[in-house]
Amino acid sequence: MTTTQDMLETVPTGVPLGAELVAAAIDACLRCTQSCTTCADADLVEPGIDEMRDCIASCLNSADVCALTARLLSRPAHSDGYVIHRLLQACVRVCTTCAEECHKHAHHHRHCALCERVCRDCVDACSQLLATGSGDVTP
pLDDT computed for residue 1 by the predictor: 67
Confidence label for 139 from pLDDT (cuts 50, 70 and 90) = very low
What is the model's pTM? 0.93
Q: Where are the domains of the chain?
A: 17-136
Instruction: Tell me how far apart the alpha carbons of residues 126 and 89 are, in angstroms, rounded to a whole number.
Output: 8
Task: Give the pLDDT band of residue 39 (cuts 50, 70, 90).
Answer: very high
Instruction: Decide: 35 and 119 in contact? Cβ < 8 Å.
Output: yes
Rounded CA gap, 32 and 124, in Å?
Answer: 12
- Specify the CATH architecture of the domain 17-136: Up-down Bundle (1.20)
Q: Tell me the average pLDDT across 92-108.
A: 97
